[in-house]
Structures are given as C-alpha cells and as structure tokens.
Amino acid sequence: MKNNRSEHPRTHCIRCGECCIVASPTLQAQDLPLIQGGAIAARDLFTIRQGELVWDNVIEAFTVTGQDILKVREKQEGGCVFFDDNAKACTIYEKRPAQCAAMACWDMAEFMRVYKGAKLARRDVVKDGVVLGLIEAHERRCSYEALQAHVKAIETDGEKAVEKVIGLLKFDHQMRPFLLQKLGLNPDEMDFLFGRPLADTVVMFGLKVVREPDGTFFLTRVEKRVPG
Ligand code: SF4
Ligand code: SF4
C-alpha cells in the first residue's frame, strides 16, 4: 500500500476499516504467539509457497515470492476474514497481527519497518513430524520451480511437457483428499499446510484447468501473469 497521505490527511486512525477491506495481513515472525495462543487458527490462514505469484499491496504489483509466507484468509467478496462488516471492526483487535498494529495509512514508516522484518512460515507453526514430512515431500514434487520448468518446456517438448504439467496438477489435486482420509487432517487447513491448489494457481503461467464431468481435466491458455 503506497503512502497515500494526500488522500488521507489524517493524524490518527479513525477505524474506518479501509485497510482491512483492501487486503489481509501477512504474518511476521513476532505473530507466532497469536497462533500458539489460539487468536489465529491454521484454518484462518493460507500459505503462499516459494515461487508463487502474489499481489503485493506495498508495491502495488504482482510479485513472485522468494520464500513461504502465511497470509490471513480473505472473504469471497474480499477483505480480511477477521473484519466484521456490520460492526466495522476487527474481531481480534487486541490480538491483531503486527502488520495491522503498525498500520497508519497517513504515515507508513512503522508499517514498512515491520513489513521488512522476518516472516512467519509453515515450519514455524507445524510441529507434527509426519505432517512436516508430507509438506516437504509435496514441496519436492510440486514446487513452483518444477511447475515453471515443465510449463516452459511446452514450447519445445509439446505434448510431453503438457503431460508433465498435468501430472503435477493431478498429484496436488488427488493428494489432498487422500491425506484428509488417511490422516484425518482438517479440510479447512489444507491451504495452510500445502498452499493453494496448483489447479487454481497455474493461471500465473498462463494456463487454466478445465474440468470434465468425469473428473479428468485438461489445460487451456489464458493471459500469462508471470514474466519469463
Ligand atoms: S489505518 Fe486503516 S482503519 Fe485506520 S484510518 Fe487508516 S485505513 Fe482507516
Ligand atoms: S486482522 Fe483485524 S486489523 Fe488486521 S486486517 Fe484483519 S480485520 Fe483488519
């Protein structure tokens, strides 16, 4: 979010909620106690995995993340899940994340100081060794680096590379219900544990998944968002 002092000639927060409606916060390292204490649950979060495309409100552009980051979920209509539209208030105000506490739309200096600090990642939160092993195995098989390499190879290798892309998307797609059944994981925590489904995020490479009624899916081209 750019410093919009000219649009907001304020000297203090009037709790208008604009910043909560525009976007949800990313968690910083110092936010870990909020999860440990239960103010924020894993189901309230999703992971943006290394190499994934994300809209950065600070620079107001899409950017590819160089690391795993945790974000508070947003409502379907947009805005942070913790924002109560009727009350126009944060439902976890006393325990809101560091980025929110630092937000002062008329002077972004403190926000930028916090924003530049260390971010929280899945490995800081997940303590179960089996689940951590699954996260790592998923990362090895379905990294954005691997997906990008297969997408790039479509130009030279054609159908063979398309099959590899579909193979990754299928693995990611089928692994989720399998693990839910086998390990009794919480379905609402899957996007936190394994990031958003590749079938949704592959759009960053200019591909879109079309699902057939029989469960099979194929790829079509859309406008690409990631350079290279
Ligand atoms: S910091 Fe957020 S809630 Fe406070 S005045 Fe600015 S936009 Fe509104
Ligand atoms: S956690 Fe609270 S203060 Fe932060 S964006 Fe969400 S509603 Fe706003």
Q: What is the pLDDT of residues 31-87, one digit of tens each?
A: 999 999 999 999 999 999 999 988 888 888 888 999 999 999 999 988 999 999 999
117 touches 30 (CB < 8 A): yes
Residues 107 and 139 grouped into a single domain: no
Residues 119 and 23 grouped into a single domain: yes
Residues 103 and 147 grouped into a single domain: no
Q: Is 72 exposed, middle or buried (0-12, 13-18, 19+ CB in 10 A)?
A: buried
Residues 81 and 172 grouped into a single domain: no
Q: Which domain holds residue 90?
A: 18-123
Q: What is the mean pLDDT of the chain?
A: 90
Q: How far is the CA of 89 from the centre of ligand 1 (A)?
A: 11
Residues 117 and 135 grouped into a single domain: no
Is 182 among the domain residues? yes
The number of folded domains in the chain is 2
Q: What is the pLDDT of residues 139-191, one digit of tens each?
A: 999 999 999 999 999 989 898 999 999 999 999 999 999 999 998 899 999 99
Q: Would the pTM of this model clear 0.85, i.e. be above it?
A: yes
Is 6 among the domain residues? no
- SS3 percent helix, strand, coil of the chain, rounded to 5, is 45, 15, 40
Residues 154 and 104 grouped into a single domain: no
Which has more confidence, 102 or 219? Answer: 102
> Is 80 touching ligand 2 by the criterion CB < 6 Å?
yes
Residues 138 and 201 grouped into a single domain: yes
Residues 146 and 112 grouped into a single domain: no
* Nearest protein CA to atom 8 of ligand 2, as residue: 20
End of a domain among 123, 158, 173? 123
Residues 32 and 106 grouped into a single domain: yes
* Nearest protein CA to atom 2 of ligand 1, as residue: 19
With a cut of 80, say whether residue 111 has pLDDT above it. Answer: yes
* Nearest protein CA to atom 8 of ligand 1, as residue: 16
Residues 150 and 201 grouped into a single domain: yes
Residue 59 three-state SS:
coil
10 touches 106 (CB < 8 A): yes
DSSP state of 42: G
Residues 100 and 135 grouped into a single domain: no
90 touches 72 (CB < 8 A): no
Of 4, 7, 10, 24, the residue with max ligand 1 atoms within 8 A of its CB, to mutate for a pocket test, comes to: 10
Residues 118 and 130 grouped into a single domain: no
End of a domain among 93, 123, 153? 123
Which has more confidence, 165 or 221? Answer: 165
